[in-house]
Structure 1
Amino acid sequence: MRVILFDLDGTLIDSTEAILEGFEVSFRSFNKTPPPPEEVKKLIGLPLDVMFSKLGVEKEKVWDYVDTYKQHYRKISKQKTVLLPNAKEAVIEASKFARLGIVTTKTGEYSKELLEHFGIMKYFEVLIGREHVNNPKPHPEPILKAVHLMNAIKNATWMIGDTCLDMVSAKEAGVNYIGVKWEYEDLHNMKKCAEIIKENVLEAVEYIIKNY
């Protein structure tokens, strides 16, 4: 049976507001000026520690910022996160012909809470979050772990994501991949990483149904 692995941010959910607020609170708690929202958005999809490092936080303080971010993010994530249009429909359609999993650089514990909040966690067999791997995307480890746990066949497995991190991870893991358009990744860059790019996750699922 086919397997479809989904990224979260920019693929199934929009938690931009919560993420930006989390970064602002974290920087201000250390009496630092928060970076411009556009600079944060460019980095969404990377692990939090990498994001903070790229935003100028000293190496020895990165995890303090991450902890502060997580404490605030968990409080606000449910009310400041929404399912993307057609996301629930995409998951339900995909579940009719494939086994499903989540592969994200978000904290898995919080990701599960969000998906349960939206009523769709029941459709997923596995959820691989940041704390479940040593090497997050774009390393292939998260996808390989999902493939292993699901006893999946690689050439019957698809990764759907909105950034080159997802596409590179899938390619290195030896599974199929399809991109979706979202503001976190410049479309020009995305075209360098994925041959197939759809407008949204439902179109991506429908493509897999019709063609594979």
Structure 2
Amino acid sequence: MTQTQSKENRTTFDAAQIKVIAFDLDGTLIDTSQAMLDVNHEVFSEAIDNGDAKKQPTKEEIYSTFGMIGDEAWNTLASEIPDGRSDHYKERHNELLRDKMDTQSYVLPGVPELLKSLADRYDLATASNCGEAYLARVLAKDGLKELITYPFCAGSVDAEQKSDVLRELLRQSGLDTSQVLMVGDRKSDVDAAKEAGIPVVGVRSEFGDADELQTADVVIDKIGDLKKLFEKQ
């Protein structure tokens, strides 16, 4: 039995049993951070000009919302915008983001090649807190749609939290918890995997604090290192 071990927390999982690898999106497979910064800047500039907001959200405040589910991210950033105007700016935000994602790929370098190599041996899944339309736009680029067996997100399974997405993946795949691996870059990914009872690989990224991944089974420096975890089998 081949096992993979983290130097940081000494937790192991049996890599030889894994049949499905589930990926978080933002920070793990894609990077829409600049698009998010640009869109929020434009929307809040309009709100400030109209007297509906006092200031721009900071980069740190925007990054802190990555991984939030449903409208939580928008409600966090727009908490000071009057209720009667918030929906207008939220729709403007979504419209601008849709336009950007329809015209540009945000997939991280090397990800299409990595997924293609993994798809030869494993079924691949997504496990994101995003909505269906957002996921569809991500998968429409770089041939990703054809590589993902289980395109799941909070919106597609009506999840209240990311662990619900993973539980639905377990249900539809019919696999045991030891046979599904979660890969993500934030504490929310690690927590969701732990709640669903599956092993998790943490990927370091600029969006999380240094200690966010300390309870992951394995921590890697970049997504391309994932393949190395399975090469010795």
CA distance in 2, matches of 1:64, 1:156: 44
Aligned length: 208
CA distance in 2, matches of 1:94, 1:6: 12
Per-residue CA deviation, residues 11-54 of structure 1 (Å, 9 max, x unaligned), is: 11111111112222332343323211222112211135222333
94 and 62 in structure 1: CA distance in 2 versus 1, 3 angstrom threshold = farther
Corresponding residue of 2:140: 116
100 and 171 in structure 1: CA distance in 2 versus 1, 3 angstrom threshold = same
Corresponding residue of 1:136: 161
CA distance in 1, matches of 2:108, 2:179: 26
Equivalent in 168, 177, 193 of residue 191 of structure 2? 168
98 and 209 in structure 1: CA distance in 2 versus 1, 3 angstrom threshold = farther
1:189 correspondence with 2:206: no
TM-score normalised to structure 1 length: 0.87
Q: How does 1:1-212 map to 2 (within 5 A)?
A: 2-31=19-48, 32=53, 33-47=55-69, 49-58=71-80, 60=83, 63-132=87-156, 133-137=158-162, 140-191=163-214, 193-210=215-232
CA distance in 1, matches of 2:62, 2:200: 25
Per-residue CA deviation, residues 154-190 of structure 1 (Å, 9 max, x unaligned), is: 2110000010111110110011110001111112222
**SS in structure 2 of the partner of residue 117 of structure 1:** coil
- C-alpha deviation, 1:117, in angstroms: 1.8
CA distance in 2, matches of 1:146, 1:64: 34
CA distance in 2, matches of 1:206, 1:169: 24
- C-alpha deviation, 1:78, in angstroms: 4.2
Aligned residue identity for 2:43: S
5+ residue gaps, structure 2, are 1-17
Q: Which moved more, 1:168-177 or 1:29-38?
A: 29-38
Answer whether contact 1:109 1:129 (CA < 8 A) is retained.
no
Answer whether contact 2:69 2:160 (CA < 8 A) is retained.
no
Runs of 4+ in 1 over 3 A off after TM superposition: 58-66, 78-81, 208-211
- C-alpha deviation, 1:114, in angstroms: 2.2
Answer whether contact 1:10 1:184 (CA < 8 A) is retained.
yes
Pairwise CA RMSD = 2.2
Identity of aligned residues (%): 22
Answer whether contact 1:179 1:198 (CA < 8 A) is retained.
yes
Q: Which moved more, 1:151-160 or 1:108-117?
A: 108-117
- C-alpha deviation, 1:86, in angstroms: 2.1
25 and 34 in structure 1: CA distance in 2 versus 1, 3 angstrom threshold = same
115 and 42 in structure 1: CA distance in 2 versus 1, 3 angstrom threshold = same
Answer whether contact 1:49 1:62 (CA < 8 A) is retained.
no
Structure number with higher helix proportion: 1
Answer whether contact 1:17 1:81 (CA < 8 A) is retained.
no
- C-alpha deviation, 1:63, in angstroms: 4.8
